[in-house]
Amino acid sequence: MIKGLDHIAIAVRNIEETLAIYGPVLGMKIEHTKVVEQQKVRISILKAGDTKIELLEPLSSESTVAKFLQNRGEGLHHIALEVSNIDDQLKDLKDKGITLIDEKSRPGAEARKIAFIHPKSTKNVLIELVEH
């Protein structure tokens, strides 16, 4: 079951330059910045009221975020939805004919289970499912 919006992710070439805008200029609180080795990215989490914004900077030309930036440029990367039971949600989506990038959940940032729905099943929007 979808519980709500978890975060909005934005792909950027340089987190420090982006934080200079989103932090002091726009007034968002920077919660933390960390490296997520398995995804070859550095992330920064910002708070905008009750909503989180996740900035994604590739650490390698092999990361999916680097490929995204090369093809599409900086901007909206994905929308993350919080779910109550990610494995049940994935099975249900697969049974309904939805194409999944991840058929099983995997560890994500902030010690949560994550999985991605392929954008071809969601009108070209990459959706991440997140279980807290």
pLDDT category at 6 given cuts 50, 70, 90 is very high
**Phi, psi values for residue 34, rounded to 5°:** -155, 165
pLDDT digits (tens, 9 = 90+) for 7-42: 999 999 999 999 999 999 999 999 999 999 989 999
Q: What is the dihedral of CA 41, 35, 17, 45, to 10 degrees?
A: 100
- DSSP three-state, residue 23: helix
Place of tokens 């910002």: 46
Delineate the domains of the chain, giving CATH numbers in brackets.
2-131 (3.10.180.10)
Q: Whole-model pTM above 0.75?
A: yes
β-pairing, 51-58 vs 2-11, is parallel
pLDDT of residue 121: 97
Place of tokens 């920077």: 30
